[in-house]
Structure 1
Amino acid sequence: MSRGVEVVLDAGPEHAAEAVAVMHRAFAEYAATGLPSGAMTETAHTLREEMAGGTRVALLRVDGRAVAMAKHHPAADGSRYFGRLGVVPEERGNGHAATLVRALRADAWAAGLAGLSCLVREDEDGNIAVYQGLGMTVVGRGERRSRTGALIRVVEMRDAEASAD
């Protein structure tokens, strides 16, 4: 049976609660690592505030049910920065992250931006590999203070074509 997949790159503030529910399910596993994700501190209210400041929310739905999301906005370096890309556990492995990344990239290019950029936890080899397989490359390493206050080691990734400039 074919499943209906829909990507909405600019889900409005009325979808904030739905996006946060996906985010919380997607990022809950980090609590077991000792470095819980700051995603767990986000609420529909805080997300709507971000959206009022220019952050957009992408939702991927399967048969009408939101199963993946990402926040995104134009970055100062001319790329489209995305973060909090998450897929609910039971939908992982179905290509939803790749579908979102490709849609975000097409949107970035259509807006005249130089592709995508993101930060990924340094110890998330699987996520880094997925993004590399989608044409992104590691361009830097550092630390970032999470919304929880934890200091997390991250890699900065950028579309390979954009990082060659």
Structure 2
Amino acid sequence: MSPRVEIDLDAGPDAADDAVAVMHRAFAEYARTGLPSGAMTETAESLRGEIAGGVRIGLLRVDGRAVASVKHHPAGDGTLYFGRLGVVPEERGRGHAAALVRALRTHAHTSGLAGLSCLVREDEEGNIAVYQGLGMAVAGRGERRSRTGALIRVVEMRDDEAVAD
């Protein structure tokens, strides 16, 4: 029997504990790079505060277990910005990130937004390639200061015009 996969793009404050647990597991590997992820500073309480301010939390569950999460909100440029998309290590390579991106794009379009945007660490070539394969393109490069204080080189990605239309 195949696993039951459910996506809830507006999981709400009651899902903050699950979302933070996924984030911490998904982003823990960055501590080894010397540039730890700001995801590690997130708590269920801080996430509930962001939700109260308009950020939405998406969760992907497999047989009821949260294995992937994402934060998202409408951006000032008319896109749906997403961040902190993470999949727990043992569930990677199963299409969960792609499923979340596709669900976010559908949500963006049904909400009248032009498509998706996100920032990705410049050295995460695999993640950049995944997003490119899902119709996003590199739109810019820069640096961003993480919640941990680390200065991280990032690429801005946006839906390719052909996908956004």
TM-score (structure 2 length as normaliser): 0.98
* Percentage of matched positions with identical amino acids: 80
- CA–CA distance in structure 2, aligned partners of residues 154 and 162 of structure 1: 23
Residues 104-123 of structure 1: matches in 2 within 5 Å? 104-123=104-123
Who is 1:3 aligned against? 3
Gaps of 5+ in 2: none
RMSD: 1.3
Encode CA deviations 1:106-144: one digit per residue, 9 max, x unaligned.
000000000000000000000000000000000000000
Size of the alignment, in residue pairs?
165
Who is 2:58 aligned against? 58
- CA–CA distance in structure 1, aligned partners of residues 164 and 71 of structure 2: 25
Encode CA deviations 1:31-57: one digit per residue, 9 max, x unaligned.
000000000000000000000000000
Tell me the SS of whatever aligns to 1:129: helix
- CA–CA distance in structure 1, aligned partners of residues 57 and 163 of structure 2: 25
- Conservation of the 8 A alpha-carbon contact between 2:135 and 2:163: no
Tell me the SS of whatever aligns to 1:35: coil
Q: CA deviation at 1:162?
A: 7.2
Who is 2:33 aligned against? 33
Encode CA deviations 1:1-23: one digit per residue, 9 max, x unaligned.
30100000000101101100000
Residues 16-165 of structure 1: matches in 2 within 5 Å? 16-161=16-161
- Conservation of the 8 A alpha-carbon contact between 1:114 and 1:162: no
Q: CA deviation at 1:160?
A: 0.2
Q: CA deviation at 1:164?
A: 8.5
- The alpha-carbon distance between structure 1 residues 164 and 72, as it changes in their structure 2 partners (threshold 3 A), is closer
- CA–CA distance in structure 2, aligned partners of residues 130 and 163 of structure 1: 15
Gaps of 5+ in 1: none
Tell me the SS of whatever aligns to 1:141: strand
Q: Which amino acid aligns with 1:4?
A: R
TM-score (structure 1 length as normaliser): 0.98
